[in-house]
Structures are given as structure tokens and as C-alpha cells.
Structure 1
Amino acid sequence: MKKKITIIGSGFSALAASCYLAKSGHQVTVFEKNAAIGGRARQLKKDGFTFDMGPSWYWMPDVFERFFFDFDKKTTDYYELIKLSPAYRVYYAVDDFIAIADNLPDIIFAFEAIEKGSGKILNEFMAEAKSNYDIAIKKLVYRPGVSPLELVTKETALKMGQFFTNISKEIRKKFKNERLIQILEFPVLFLGAKPSDTPSFYSFMNYADFGLGTWHPKTGMFDVVRAMESLAIELGVTFETNSNIEKIIVENKVAKAIVVNGGTIASDLILSGADYHHTETLLDKEHRAYSEKYWESRVFAPSSLLFYVGFDKKIENISHHALFFDVDFYQHAKDIYDEPQWPKQPLFYANFPSLTDTTAAPEGMESGFFLIPLAPGITDTEELREEYFNKIMDRFETLTKQSVKNNIIFKQSFCKNDFVSEYNSFKGNAYGMANTLLQTAFLRPKLKSKKVKNLYFTGQLTVPGPGVPPALISGKLVSELINKQFLEQ
């Protein structure tokens, strides 16, 4: 039976859900508070430069293919993918960096050159990581987090010990070189927690990295947003931007309507892809499933200080993705998770999309995206932003042996306060709730409201968790729960 469904927000999970629900025959309208769709994956265009404002890594291409296949489509129907070679560089000092190749044999060779015997160990480690990937991404993450029994399978029974040790400990048993250890620990940072707090089963992220490679949609991650929007429109979804949701109206414990820009819009069912905590503040207190104490007790992924920078020349000695690990990796992690504060010496990430995409910057110029992970809820001021920009740019100039600060013709920052104002993000977090052992699968906030009928949630604070591929999966999972409810009525 055709239902009128309202979706709040237009990030990846909401876009995915809109497609699945429209395919099932429902009348779907997506309401986005900002002027453009995409949520954190919006695009910034200024002075001839183009930036992806949020996600910039295209990992797990099989998950994207699986999404479009559900609609008898392929990614190539909408956008072109380029495999990056090298996938990324990791910088440690002047003239000292490691380039991660676009294939596992070359990565194994590079490891062996740095630590004798590590090549064979890496090959064995990657075989285990691939096994975990096949279990996690092909099976476990497509389960809705309703019951702990979802994790109990013949395959996971053999891996159970990996849920009770951490990936940092397991990597350190196998490798001694600190740089190789950091490279192997890096991928789980996408899950929003320290490697020492992340179950070793999550080594499947290493397979996503070394095994499947790093890709780039031809003109940026916003290509994926455009593709999903096109698919949604083909399926009959309607989009309403500049539409701020002020309240969710509940009658007799049933979600009935939303208040948008002062007007009331009735609906048979409401699905929120907006921040979970924020969405619950749109409800009267008695209808909220999770208390403020609950949210305060959760481990959240970091916030970020982002800079979108236009240079009036081409930048040398860089790669499309670059990690700057020239300072203490573990001290920065402590400054995020253990003793939240602005890091004295921040690690940072840089992305130069114009190396791959000539449309990202005017001819002869370069677009650069810089990111510093920060503790959520931290103090955010313009003075601190500028101080930290100068810190990382000084190091960037030293490590890449060039002067660039005087070549900046455009710069825009985005930090904790903007995550709150633009996305209603709890404490200004950038990636959602961390995937620690006690915040995995059925232990995450539920897709279906426990207190209000016909109210559902999707996105990075619920299952499966942070990241773009999990967001696509979250949209699929919640749409299946919704359709199941309608069938049972």
C-alpha cells in the first residue's frame, strides 16, 4: 500500500533510503535544511575552485556497486571512477615519506624493504583481513541491529576472539616498525575510535585500503550525491531544500507530521537522516528514546577543523591524498579521546583533488583540502582556527620543500561550530558515534524509535556506523524495516 513518507535530511543514508522507499511504491519527500542536498557531502564552489566539503575517500567500491545494482543500475551509469596511484602518501620528515601503491604486491614489497620479514606477515594479515571483510561487509553490516543474535553465525563463531582484543595490540604482535604500525592503524580511524579501542575484527578496513584500493569519482565525491539524486528523482522522490524542521508532531505515540518553516505537513511515516540526537530534540521529552545522560556517555568520533584552500600555482611533492604523521600519532589521539583539548602538535590530512580532476581548480592552480581531527565539543574560535592553519602550513612547507602560504588566493574554514549550525551535529562531531565494542551493531541507537510508532532513523549514529558505505547500507536497512512494518499492518 502506497504511503506518504517524509525524510528529514539529505545525506547519503537519507538519499539511499529515499531510493529504496520510492522503489517500493511510496510517495517520498526529502526535506533539507540547507540550500543544497548532500548533507556533509555538500560541494563548495568559489572563485573557480571546487571542493568536496566532507567525505573525500572513496573506499569499498563494491558497496556502491551493490547499492546501484539494487535498482538495476551501475555506478558507470552515473559517474566515472579513477583508481588513484599511489593511493596516498604518508609523510614523516623532509624527503621521508611512504607511498602506498594501488596494488597489494607492491605494498608488500614496500613493507619488506622497511622491515625485513614484514612482507610475508602482511600477506598473511591481509588474508585474514579479507576473510573479515567478506563476513562483515557482505553479511553482518546488512543486518538491522535489532538483536545480538545477528552477530552469531558459523563464520563469526570462529572469529569471536577478535571482538575481545583490539586491532592495535594485534598489529603490534606482528609488526615492529612504528611507521608500518601507524599505516596499518590508520584505516580504523574512519570508524571514529582509537585503534586501541577498536576490535581487531575491524582489520577488514585494512582490506578495504590495501585490497580494494582508493578511488576517486572523476569530478569528486559530489558525483555520488548527484548520482543518487538523479536515481531518486527517476524513482519519483521530491526534494525540498531550505526546509528547516522545527518539530515532529506525535499524537497517541504515533508520528503524524512535521513542522517545516512554520507550516505543518502530515505524513504516514517520518524517517530522519539528520543527527539522531538533534532529531529527538524535535520531539516532546516524553517521546525521546535516549536521555541527555545517554548521549553524554557515548564515545563520539572526532570533530574536525577543515580548510578549503585555493592556490595560484601548482603544488609540488604531493599526492591526491596525503597524511602528515611527522608528530606524535598517539599524543594527538590522547588529545581527542582521553584528555580532550586542542592538540599541541596536530596530525593532519591533505587532499589535492585538482591533481586528478582538472575542473577542481583554474588552469595552473591547485585546490587543497586540509583536515585536523579534533575532540568533539571543543572550544572553537576564529583565532584558534587561524593559529592551527599556520601551524600545519608551516610544517607542510617544510615537509614538501616549497613556499605556498603567499600563493593562497582563497581560504575558507569549517569547524565544530559549523558542524553544529550546518548539520545540527551533537558536540560538532564530524563522523558520528565511534564503532567501539560497546557501540557496535545492536548496541547502537536503534533504526526504529522505541517510543514513537512510525518514526525511524538512519545515518552514522545508528547501524552500521560511520562512513559513506555504511551510510548507504543504513538507508537500505531502515527501508527494509519500514516496508516490513507496512506489510505486517
Structure 2
Amino acid sequence: MTGSRAVVIGGGVSGLATASLLAREGHDVTLIERRSELGGRMGTWERDGFVFDTGPSWYLMPEVFEHFYRMVGTTTSDHLDLVDLAPGYRVYGEPNEGTKEAAIDVPAGCDAVVALFESREPGAGRRVRRYLRSATRAYQAAREAYLYNPFSSWRAFLAPRVLRNAPAVIPLLARSLWTMIRRRFADRRLRQILGYPAVFLGTSPFDAPALYHLMSHMDLVDGVRYPIGGFRRFAESLVNIAREKGVTIETRCEAVAIRRDASRVTGVEVERFGERRILDADIVVSAIDEHHTETSLLAVGDRSYPDARWRKQVTGPGAVLVMLGVKGELPQLRHHTLLFSDDWRDNFDAIFGDTPRVPDPPSFYVCMPSATDDGVAPRGHENLFLLIPVPPDVSIGRGGVDSAGDRTVAEIADCAIDQLSEWAGIPDLAERVVVRRTVGPGDFSDDFHSYRGSALGPAHTLRQSAFLRGRTRSRRVPGLYYTGATSVPGVGVPMCLIGAEIVLKHVRGDRSAGPLEES
């Protein structure tokens, strides 16, 4: 179908990557984005000399980035200046009876991690070495045979590459990640260091399959990096590549319906500046929230899923984001800092349980890119980004700049600032804040049509992982494809790049299991 007309809905990572891959293939591609800013959740906000990434902040799986860049005829080093973070991150635990637990700096590299584990729990070093070897095997198997696999038919499950890698994957689906960790380690913080990556997947370590211990290969074995200038540099590179490939990009242009005839997709009806028109297309790619596409852009008879599917979905957490410009230095924090409460079961039950509530106290994440990058804050100041997981519930509200926003969001932000102040030993933190902005689940719903206001999309439970997660090709409308965090293979910037490649495979009719040959 080289030379076909393609319309990509959504200017986030998956949308921009898909548009570039299709354009390089020779298709005539138009990308539409309802907002004025491209990059999707990978956004930027600037004020008074502070520059905040408003979305992703962990650079993991560098080989996936490099593979994508090579697919479009360039390399990572042509676009990004990456630095290794040492330590990868810092952990603070919950103070008990007024006693503050010492911070734990988590290094990268197997030997350094073994030394850390052994220092806290005799014998844990030997066990974590085996754990990390297993994580690396599972990661390599997933990348080689599953993550890039379009699973176009049942024959995909019998492909030699899939069968060869099955022993490293299948046995890990029968138990939870937490069960796997608990049986090997007794120290609470060591368990949490191995279990927290489940949050990156929009789920809890009690619900994620043990397969996802492969995440520990990414941060503990391979290490954490940061692109100088922030993740906006990556978003800018995607926009520039798309334009270089000839993609037509229209911002402030919203899809209102996907059109079809008796045999296949025919185009997208869009609205821009109050006027509606049809963009004709032989290929349509939805790179936005899958629930919105299915329930708002398609006629009932064209939908791949019944309504019951959405009611049963385990949705990943919502989030309250807090962006703070802080006067003075904060040596108590690293580029990445994690605050872990003692009672994780209560934390995750608050978010995913039958009676959702805001965790108290929450475990949450703090990013301070000014520890690495002089360009994100004025001299003598720090740039902080807090992410507090909350239930996926739009009624929690919306945020705002300074004192603007809904009360619940503001209260969650205030409590998180106070908690960080106490746990990290920064008693005057609140008084030193000179810039503040908050974002709540209502903003995710408004800005991204995010189902239930989730920050991440469907949780990566066993029934919502890999080929069980969703469709990358419409069941009902030939020529319609899905990609992005709410589709396959899942949450995270690398997954969105892989999802773009899966769409390219579908368009080509390529059923191969692994990454495509690089140009």
C-alpha cells in the first residue's frame, strides 16, 4: 500500500513516531492534534526561568530509542545529549516514631546492586544477582519475541522465535511480582526497590505478573539516563523528524468521527477553528485514548469492543502532578527520589480497591532535573516535579497555577510538600516555593480524553498485558489501527515507539516477531 493516504490522530509520541515511519515508507501522511502543543503527555511548562517536563522523566530502554532513530535514518546521538545518573535514584522510607530512616542511594550495575542488597540483608546479594540474571533473560526474550510482535493471527504463537523464548516468559505468568520478591528478600526497602516499577506499568506489584521483574533489568542493570534539556528535546526531535519526512501536521485540529464505506476506512472528519471537513484516507491510525476512539469517534457497529469491556477494565492510577520552583539548593534530593510508605498494601488498595481513596501517607515520586541540568532552573534555585498516584477519578478535580485549581488537588499537593519536607529533612521547603502549578485527573481527562482521568491508561495486569491488552488493528474497520499507551504493547515512551512499529508491520503485512531491519 505504499503511496496510500494516511491520517494519524494524535500528536503524542506514538502518533509522531507512526507518522514518521509511514511517511518514510512512502505514504502521504497527515497528523492532527487537538491541542496547540505537540508531544502529548510529554509536555513542557515554563515560568520565571523554570522549565518543567510535565510528563515522562525516566529514560530507560535506550536500545529502543536507538532502534527507532535508525529506522528513520538517524541516531540517538544526532538528537539527544544523554548523561548517566549516578545514583540512579534515592529512596526515603516512612519515619517511625519521629525517627527518620537513612536515605538509600540506588546504583546501577549488577555488582553495585549486589553490594547494596548485601549491606542491608546478609545473603541478599547472592539472591539479587540471580534475580537480575532472570530479569535480563526475561527482558531480552520479551524484546526479541513479544514486544514488537503484531500477533496478527494464531500462527504468531507458533513462530520459532516465540517458542524459543517462551521458557523465559511463560512460567512467570502464574504468580505475582510481589510473591516472587517476597520469597527472596525480607528487607522492606529492598522489596520495594524491586517492586516499585509496577507503578510505571499502571498497576501494583501485588497484581502485576512476575514477568515484570524484567523492569529491574532496566533501572538496576542497564541504568537510568537523562537527556540534557529535558524530555522536550526528545519530543522536539520527533516533530522535526516527522516534518523532514514530509508529514503534514495540523494542530488545534480535533477528530470528531472516523468515516468508512462498505469495505474499509475512508477518512476522518475533523473540526478546526469551528469548521468541519473530511480528511480522506486509506489508512487511519488512532494514537489517542482507545476508549475515546471507540466510544466517540466510531459508530456503534464499527466498535471492536462491547461496553462491558470498559466497565470491567482495571484502569491505571490517576495522578496529581505538582511543579515547584524552589529557592535555594536541595542536597537532600537526587535527580530521581522515591518516597516509600511502610504499608504498601493499603497504598495500592486505596488506588485499586473497592473503596478508592487518596492514600495516606502516599508513596510518591519526585524529580529534580536541576540536579543534572543547569538549564531548567534559574541559578540558585531547584526545579521539582512531584507525582502522587491517586485513584483514576475525575471528581478529584483539576489543578492550576499558584492557588488556582480545585480544593482536593490543592490539598493533595500541600500534603505531599509537607511529607517531602518531613521525610527528606527539608523543614522550610514550603516557604521556599516561588513557582507552583498543579495538575489533576480532571486535566488528564480534558487534555487527553483520558478514560476515568487515568494518567497511564489500562493497568498491566495479566489480563491486560501483551496481546491481551487490546487491539492494534480494528476488528470491524479494515484500514483502522490503534497505537499509544492505551493500546499494545503498553505504557511508557519506549512502548509507544514500539507500538508505532507494530502499526507499520500491519500496514506492510509483516508478521515477524522482533524489531524490523534498520535502514
TM-score under structure 1 normalisation?
0.96
Q: Cα distance, 1:36 vs. partner?
A: 0.9
Structure 1 residue matching 2:476: 3-state secondary structure? coil
Structure 1 residue matching 2:103: 3-state secondary structure? strand
Q: Does 1:99 align with 2:127?
A: no
Q: Which among 278, 281, 296 is matched to residue 267 of structure 1?
A: 281
Structure 1 residue matching 2:386: 3-state secondary structure? strand
What percentage of aligned pairs have identical amino acids? 32
Q: Does the 8 A contact of 2:394 with 2:442 survive in 1? A: no
Q: 2:470 & 2:194 partners in 1: Cα distance?
A: 29
Q: 1:327 & 1:173 partners in 2: Cα distance?
A: 18
Structure 1 residues 344 and 232: alpha-carbon distance in aligned structure 2, compared to 1, 3 A threshold: same
Q: 1:460 & 1:20 partners in 2: Cα distance?
A: 18
Q: Which among 443, 446, 449 is matched to residue 421 of structure 1?
A: 446
Q: Which among 429, 454, 463 is matched to residue 479 of structure 2?
A: 454
Q: 2:393 & 2:306 partners in 1: Cα distance?
A: 18
Q: Counterparts in 2 of 1:38-437, with a 5 A limit?
A: 38-92=39-93, 93=95, 94=100, 96-147=102-153, 150-151=156-157, 152-157=162-167, 159-252=169-262, 254-261=264-271, 262-280=276-294, 281-339=296-354, 340-377=356-393, 379-381=395-397, 382-402=406-426, 403-437=428-462
Could you give the per-residue CA deviations for residues 310-346 of structure 1, whole angstroms, max 9, x where no partner exists?
1122223110111111442221101111132222321
Unaligned runs of 5+ in 1: none
Q: Cα distance, 1:162 vs. partner?
A: 1.2
Q: Does the 8 A contact of 2:142 with 2:169 survive in 1? A: no
Could you give the per-residue CA deviations for residues 46-66 of structure 1, whole angstroms, max 9, x where no partner exists?
221111111111111111111
Q: Does the 8 A contact of 1:145 with 1:441 survive in 2? A: no
Code of the residue aligned with 2:82 in structure 1: it is: L
Q: Cα distance, 1:295 vs. partner?
A: 1.0
Structure 1 residue matching 2:111: 3-state secondary structure? helix
Q: Does 1:470 align with 2:476?
A: no
Q: Does the 8 A contact of 2:86 with 2:107 survive in 1? A: yes
Q: 2:201 & 2:289 partners in 1: Cα distance?
A: 17
Q: 1:361 & 1:150 partners in 2: Cα distance?
A: 49
Q: Does the 8 A contact of 1:145 with 1:443 survive in 2? A: no
Q: 2:277 & 2:380 partners in 1: Cα distance?
A: 49
Code of the residue aligned with 1:480 in structure 2: it is: K
Q: 1:197 & 1:149 partners in 2: Cα distance?
A: 29
Q: Cα distance, 1:253 vs. partner?
A: 5.1
How many residues are matched?
485
Q: 1:246 & 1:111 partners in 2: Cα distance?
A: 53
Q: Does the 8 A contact of 2:108 with 2:219 survive in 1? A: no
Q: Does the 8 A contact of 1:112 with 1:119 survive in 2? A: yes
After superposing the two structures, state which structure 1 stretch, 322-331 or 461-470, moved more: 322-331
Q: Cα distance, 1:217 vs. partner?
A: 0.5
Q: Does the 8 A contact of 1:27 with 1:237 survive in 2? A: yes
Structure 1 residue matching 2:147: 3-state secondary structure? helix
Unaligned runs of 5+ in 2: 398-405, 511-519
Q: Cα distance, 1:164 vs. partner?
A: 1.0
TM-score under structure 2 normalisation?
0.90
Structure 2 residue matching 1:30: 3-state secondary structure? strand
Could you give the per-residue CA deviations for residues 427-466 of structure 1, whole angstroms, max 9, x where no partner exists?
1111111222111222122111111122111111221111
Code of the residue aligned with 1:345 in structure 2: it is: P
Q: 1:149 & 1:156 partners in 2: Cα distance?
A: 15
Q: Does the 8 A contact of 2:92 with 2:339 survive in 1? A: yes
Structure 1 equivalent of residue 403 of structure 2:
none
Q: Does the 8 A contact of 1:249 with 1:256 survive in 2? A: yes
Structure 2 residue matching 1:96: 3-state secondary structure? coil
Structure 2 residue matching 1:153: 3-state secondary structure? helix
Structure 2 residue matching 1:448: 3-state secondary structure? coil
Could you give the per-residue CA deviations for residues 284-317 of structure 1, whole angstroms, max 9, x where no partner exists?
2221111222112111211111011111222231
Structure 1 residues 149 and 90: alpha-carbon distance in aligned structure 2, compared to 1, 3 A threshold: farther
Q: 1:150 & 1:467 partners in 2: Cα distance?
A: 24
Structure 2 equivalent of residue 442 of structure 1:
467
Q: Cα distance, 1:159 vs. partner?
A: 4.0
Q: 2:168 & 2:304 partners in 1: Cα distance?
A: 35
Code of the residue aligned with 2:488 in structure 1: it is: V
Q: 1:326 & 1:283 partners in 2: Cα distance?
A: 43
Structure 2 residue matching 1:65: 3-state secondary structure? helix
Structure 1 equivalent of residue 513 of structure 2:
none
